[in-house]
Amino acid sequence: MSLAHILDSKKIRFSAVFALFLIFSYLQAPAQATHENAPHQLEDTTFTNQVESDAHVPGTEHPEGEGEHEPFDATTVIMEHIADSHSWHLWGHTSIGLPVILYTDKGVETFSSSQFHHGEQPYQGKYYTYGLVEDKIYVLDANGQIDKVASANIYDFSITKNIAAIFLSIALLLIIFTSVASAYKKRVGKAPKGLQSFIEPIILFVRDEIARPNIGNHYAKFMPLLLTLFFFIWINNLLGLIPIFPGGANVTGNIFMTFVLSFIVLLAVNLNANKYYWKHIFTPDVPWWLYPIMIPVELIGVISRPFALMIRLYANISAGHIIVLSLIALIFIFKSIALAPVSVAFVLFMDVLELLVAFLQAFIFTMLTALFIGTAVDEHHH
Amino acid sequence: MEQLFEGLLNHHIGFVVWSGLAFLILLLLLKKLAWKPILGAIHERELSIETALASAENAKAEMARLTSQNEALLNQARAERDLILKEAKELKDKIVAEAKNSAEVEGAKMIEKARVEIESQKAAALADVKNQVSTLSIEIAEKILRRQFEDQSKQEALVSDLLKEVKLN
């Protein structure tokens, strides 16, 4: 394979050189800037102080609301963006307040998260005073400090941003697939058309490339689970790539979401497992004196396979988001709007890559689920 | 480590419960509303396509069979026609030859008959002529004799004439 022809075009060659020049000149610029600002050491010293004070003081300012003179903490901003939240940020200082549902030892409390005013104010509930610290709800005592003892008794059942995004994706999936299903009812025995012809190859892909080769004869029973997993993960990966409302929630990059999905896989695998699977775990084909080693290893294997699924999806999607956000953060780190074209170009490249990863991770998750189910329902004893 | 897991249940149990519930409900709803009808329809269509293909294959085989049958019939008919034509030609030739033969034989016979007839008629006619000539000559001779015998001298003259004639011969 030769890529030399790409450089044949003068225009492309010129823009490649120009892009490299831009990158180096921008990398150069902040270096010079720090030299010039060398006497003003204020920024550098306050930077660490600020981070430390952020960690201690509850209800610090939202980093996006920081003025130009204040230092920019990329890690906090990025982690905030990929984390779950009690409000859904729209633009600037505008957010949608989401319902907060708290199960306390004294009863259930419900109120809107906008009562916290982006975590700046505590909320006086029926039973306790609540505060939002790092987007987690704690009980505050009379001095406005976290009351750890009381906080241990409240359980947060709020409809968070990710939960709302899950509901949204479920609504989307239901709309898409019921309309596709009705298309099948209307056009019995005919060739697919419209959305149906887009979805059908994917369904067939899941059936013929994922379920059938890995599970074998019993594949039909697991098709609903595999299809639901595949489309749920895929659509949430895609919605996560949209930076603005109603996208922007990092559902599949949330380890609790991937935990739920992989736990369902764990149940699906082990509840459908046949005697050969259990025999393989408890009486493996090894001398009996190896059993003390083999049985724990096999039992760990039961857990570790879904565990790997959980980590893989979470890490892949989170990593993609972190890279995109880091590239955007470069603009703020270098404090130069001139860096924007470079950032945007790299973000565009990453987004296109993430489109592929969105599909790939949905495929891998479903594929491995099918593989695990396949080993559990395999009729032949090895 | 302890700090990492502190409040884990308090802060995240809700998310796990909600997302788990939501996913299970989605699974059930999609299973009932989407996957069953869609997979069923796809399966049915595949079956119908398969049967359609199989029947097309059958039709093709049947077609081929019919064509070969037609071909065989046609060939047979052609052979039969050729045979009939050949036979007819042979028959014709035979008939013509026979007719020719019989005509020739008949002709020969007739010619022979005619010749015999002619022969016999000629013989009869000749015999008749001979009779008549003899009768006529006898009558002439009688008449002459009658006349000659009336006159002695003439008789003698005649005889002498006759005798002269004989000498001349």
Closest to A253 measured CA to CA, from A324, A203, A302 = A324
Helix A219-241 to helix A340-377 angle, to the nearest 10 degrees? 170
The pLDDT score that the predictor gives to residue A38 is 40
| The dihedral sign for the CA sequence A272, A278, A279, A281 | positive
Name beta bridge partners: A133: A136
Cross-chain CB nearest to B15 (options A154, A163, A264): A163
Structure tokens at A95: 């957010």
Name the residue type at position A254. Answer: N
Whether A31 has a pLDDT exceeding 60, the answer reads no
Q: Which of A127-141, A304-318, B71-85 has the lowest mean pLDDT?
A: A127-141
Contact A167 B42 (CB under 8 A): no
Distance from CA of B47 to the nearest CA of A (A): 10
Cross-chain CB nearest to B37 (options A151, A184, A204): A184
Q: String of b and e for A159-196 (b: at least 16 CB within 10 Å)?
A: bbbbbbbbebbbebbbebbeebbebbeeeeeeebeeeb
pLDDT tens per residue, range A241-282: 988 877 778 899 989 999 999 999 999 999 998 888 888 888
Closest to A199 measured CA to CA, from A213, A184, A209 = A184
DSSP string for residues in A195-260: HHHHHHHHHHHIIIIIIHHHH-TTHHHHHHHHHHHHHHHHHHHHHHH--STTS---STT-HHHHHH
What mean pLDDT do residues A119-147 have? 82
Q: Which of A56-65, A303-312, B25-34 has the lowest mean pLDDT?
A: A56-65
Rounded Cα distance between B112 and B115, Å, is 5
**Chain A within 8 Å of B53 (Cβ-Cβ)?**
no
Is this prediction's pTM over 0.80?
no
Cross-chain CB nearest to A181 (options B10, B17, B37): B37
For chain B, state the CA radius of gyration: 66
- Determine the residue among B39, B46, B48 to mutate to test chain A binding: the one whose Cβ has the most chain A Cβ atoms within 10 Å: B39
Q: Which residues of B touch A157 (CB under 8 A)?
A: 13-14, 17-18
Contact B16 A185 (CB under 8 A): no
The ipTM (two decimal places) reads 0.77
Percentage of chain A lying above the pLDDT 90 cut: 34
Contact B12 A256 (CB under 8 A): yes
Whether B66 has a pLDDT exceeding 90, the answer reads yes
**Chain A within 8 Å of B29 (Cβ-Cβ)?**
yes
**Chain A within 8 Å of B11 (Cβ-Cβ)?**
yes
Distance from CA of A74 to the nearest CA of B (A): 22
Percentage of chain B lying above the pLDDT 90 cut: 41
- Determine the residue among B15, B28, B48 to mutate to test chain A binding: the one whose Cβ has the most chain A Cβ atoms within 10 Å: B15
Distance from CA of B9 to the nearest CA of A (A): 7
Whether A33 has a pLDDT exceeding 80, the answer reads no
Rounded Cα distance between A118 and B120, Å, is 161
Whether A14 has a pLDDT exceeding 70, the answer reads no
Cross-chain CB nearest to A156 (options B11, B45, B48): B11
A285: three-class secondary structure by DSSP: coil
Rounded Cα distance between A238 and A216, Å, is 30
Furthest-apart CA pair in chain A: how many Å? 78
Contact B39 A220 (CB under 8 A): yes
Length of chain B: 169
DSSP string for residues in B60-91: HHHHHHHHHHHHHHHHHHHHHHHHHHHHHHHH
Whether A37 has a pLDDT exceeding 50, the answer reads no
Contact A256 B15 (CB under 8 A): yes
Contact A180 B34 (CB under 8 A): yes
Q: How many helices (H) and strands (E) does chain A have?
A: 12, 8
Helix A74-82 to helix A291-334 angle, to the nearest 10 degrees? 120
pLDDT tens per residue, range A67-115: 445 678 888 888 888 888 888 888 878 888 888 888 888 888 888 888 8
Q: Count Cα atoms within 13 angstroms, Cβ side, for A298.
A: 18
The pLDDT score that the predictor gives to residue A45 is 38
What mean pLDDT do residues A154-164 have? 89
Contact A263 B41 (CB under 8 A): no
pLDDT tens per residue, range B70-95: 999 999 999 999 999 999 999 999 99
- Determine the residue among A212, A260, A263 to mutate to test chain B binding: the one whose Cβ has the most chain B Cβ atoms within 10 Å: A260
Percentage of chain B lying above the pLDDT 70 cut: 94
Q: How confident is the model at residue B155 (pLDDT cuts 50, 70, 90)?
A: confident
The pLDDT score that the predictor gives to residue A43 is 39
Cross-chain CB nearest to B22 (options A151, A167, A189): A167
Q: Which residue of chain A comes nearest to B33, CA vs CA?
A: A178
Q: Could you tell me if A119 and A111 are in contact, meaning their C-beta atoms sit under 8 angstroms apart?
A: no
Q: Which of A11-15, A75-79, A362-366 has the lowest mean pLDDT?
A: A11-15
Contact A177 B34 (CB under 8 A): yes
Length of chain A: 382
Distance from CA of B41 to the nearest CA of A (A): 6
- Higher local confidence (pLDDT), B128 or A134: B128
Whether A185 has a pLDDT exceeding 50, the answer reads yes
A333: CB partners within 8 A, 6+ apart: A30, A72, A74
B116 by Cβ neighbours in 10 Å (0-12 / 13-18 / 19+) ranks as: exposed
Which residues 83-102 on chain B approach chain A with CB closer than 8 angstroms? none
| The dihedral sign for the CA sequence A120, A125, A130, A132 | negative
